[in-house]
Structure 1
Amino acid sequence: MSAIHAPELVTQELLELTRSLGRPERDLVILAEGNTSQLLDDGRVVVKASGSNMASATSDDFVTVEVGPFVDLLQRENCTQDEVTAALDAGVVGGQRRRGSIEALVHVAVQAVSPAGFVGHTHPTAILGLMASVRAQEAYGYWVYSDEAVVIGRPLYVPYASPGIELGQVFYHALRGYADQYGQLPQLVLLGNHGIVAIAPTAAGVDGISAMAVKGAQVRAAAYAVGGVSPVPAESVAKFLARADISERRGNLAKGQF
């Protein structure tokens, strides 16, 4: 069995992040949408269970998985969804089946490419509007204001793939390509017709990246509505990010010091 139900491994940080991203007024998820995860010191990942609500999540609403077996599934071309579903099954606990989210492969893929403390996957309405539009791939290909560049950096766009093994494999290979090109993970991944993935060493970092991504979507939508986006010049952003004070700020933001 690759997944276990171990509520004692769920930290308060992970619970608070999950509930924060699930708050209805933030419009990031509804019903049982979205999921979060945390990397443990021993290399395992605690990830939200399928069917649980983020806003009201408790330690019972998570399972813990080993990364290795899922990396094998991500790398195997003939892997089936049934195999993934079985691997995510932590059994019946208290009369309820506990199984890792169908999108757990997204969280495992992050750790397989480059370990990160926390991952948050949500479906913000503001961003979905762009990700379901004809401008999806180009929308975040430039920055629309300076703080967005500081907090989010250079995002990665991944075209739509069906949630489960298909998305997991597409996501995994896209992450590897990004890491090979830039030497690090993206802080924000945009999923076509789907949502976003925020990656950071801290829970506060994931929360902040998610919030900034939504603001960026709202700015873009407003700009498109009045004729189009006039992006911040890439050369100006490069000089801005090269400044010592901004580099220090980016380092603090990555740690969740907003």
Structure 2
Amino acid sequence: MPTTWDPAHVGDDLVALTRLLGEPHRDLAVLAEGNTSELLEDGRLVVKASGAGLASVTADDFVVVDVGEVMAVVEDPAATQADLTAVLVAAGTERSDGGGPRRGSIETVVHAAVHAVSPDSRATARFIGHTHPTDVVGLLASTVAEEAWAHLVYSDEAVVVGRPLFVPYATPGIDLGRVYVERLRAYVDAHGALPQLVLLANHGIVALAPTPDGVEAVSTMAVKGARVRATAYSVGGVAPLSDAAVEKFFARDDVAERRLNLTRGR
């Protein structure tokens, strides 16, 4: 099914989440950085249109894409960036101001891949927020980028974020989509579930949750995690939690319940 522009499919929750992530004091995104999405009941994906700023979006600033069509391009070795761009264009939406047609963000791939990889993504990742927080990108652009998040460093991070997925840098668009989906599949194979936080080297974060509140919680805790790590590195280095301690923590019923409540916004 081709990409369409249909504001009637854009829910109030998605618009509210998008504006929240774009609030200047949060420093998650500036200008037209970042994007959000919501998975519809029919399996299609509502995603922010290219060029729209998070803080001021309306229902007009989203398009509806077919996950299968997007991923067919990403996983076709012969496909190019131009092929991906063409799939994301909502036909018949040329604007009178000469701005061209509406099309999904070039980073639609980081949203579509989640739903291509996990059969239960609607229950665990109905909403996705991709942002570029300054504190996080600072570490992700450093020489310790992957090392910094190799282990959890404090208990609340374990509760809200869980085990993050690190994805090495690739040019945003089809190149990133190919690396991203490969890493996602490996993560799901290893852990039996999607990550709640994906860290994109030299780029930003992707927060996955069943609710808008969950996306906000994961995004906010990722920023705190970056600040904690930067502070620790500034005074000699990070002393992470041991893997054994984390596993024991995750196994507790009260922690599992708290994690579920936080990601669901309760």
CA separation in 2, counterparts of 1:18 and 1:251? 22
* Within-5 A mapping of 1:78-227: 78-91=78-91, 92-95=93-96, 96=99, 97-114=101-118, 115=121, 116-227=125-236
Aligned twin of 2:54: 54
Aligned twin of 1:66: 66
Question: Which amino acid counterpart does residue 239 of structure 2 have in structure 1?
Answer: S
The gaps in structure 1 that reach 5 residues or longer are none
Q: Secondary structure at the match of 1:98?
A: coil
Q: Secondary structure at the match of 1:19?
A: helix
Using the size of structure 1 for normalisation, the TM-score is 0.97
CA separation in 2, counterparts of 1:125 and 1:59? 27
- CA-to-aligned-CA distance 1:78-135 (integer Å, 9 cap, x gap): 1101111111001325425201000001110011011220111000000011000000
Question: Which amino acid counterpart does residue 54 of structure 1 have in structure 2?
Answer: L
- CA-to-aligned-CA distance 1:20-45 (integer Å, 9 cap, x gap): 11001110100000000000000000
CA separation in 2, counterparts of 1:118 and 1:40? 10
Q: Secondary structure at the match of 2:142?
A: coil
Shift of 1:242: 1.0
Is residue 255 from structure 1 mapped to residue 259 from structure 2 by the alignment? no
The gaps in structure 2 that reach 5 residues or longer are none
Aligned twin of 2:33: 33
Shift of 1:233: 2.0
Q: For structure 1, which segment, 92-101 or 161-170, has the greater mean C-alpha deviation from structure 2 after superposition?
A: 92-101
Shift of 1:181: 1.0
- CA-to-aligned-CA distance 1:15-67 (integer Å, 9 cap, x gap): 11100110011101000000000000000000000000000010000000011
CA separation in 1, counterparts of 2:75 and 2:33? 26
Structure with more strand by fraction:
1
Question: Which amino acid counterpart does residue 103 of structure 1 have in structure 2?
Answer: E
Is residue 18 from structure 1 mapped to residue 18 from structure 2 by the alignment? yes
- CA-to-aligned-CA distance 1:112-161 (integer Å, 9 cap, x gap): 01122011100000001100000001111111110000100000000000
Q: Secondary structure at the match of 1:90?
A: coil
Shift of 1:254: 2.4
Q: For structure 1, which segment, 67-76 or 43-52, has the greater mean C-alpha deviation from structure 2 after superposition?
A: 67-76
CA separation in 2, counterparts of 1:194 and 1:108? 18
Shift of 1:2: 2.1
CA separation in 2, counterparts of 1:244 and 1:171? 32
Q: Secondary structure at the match of 1:55?
A: helix
Q: Percent identity?
A: 58
CA separation in 1, counterparts of 2:78 and 2:212? 35
Question: Which amino acid counterpart does residue 236 of structure 2 have in structure 1?
Answer: G
Contact 2:28–2:131 under 8 Å retained in 1: yes
Question: Which amino acid counterpart does residue 86 of structure 2 have in structure 1?
Answer: A
Alignment RMSD, CA only? Answer: 1.0
Q: How many residues align?
A: 257
Q: For structure 1, which segment, 236-245 or 132-141, has the greater mean C-alpha deviation from structure 2 after superposition?
A: 236-245
Q: Secondary structure at the match of 2:262?
A: helix
CA separation in 2, counterparts of 1:217 and 1:41? 35
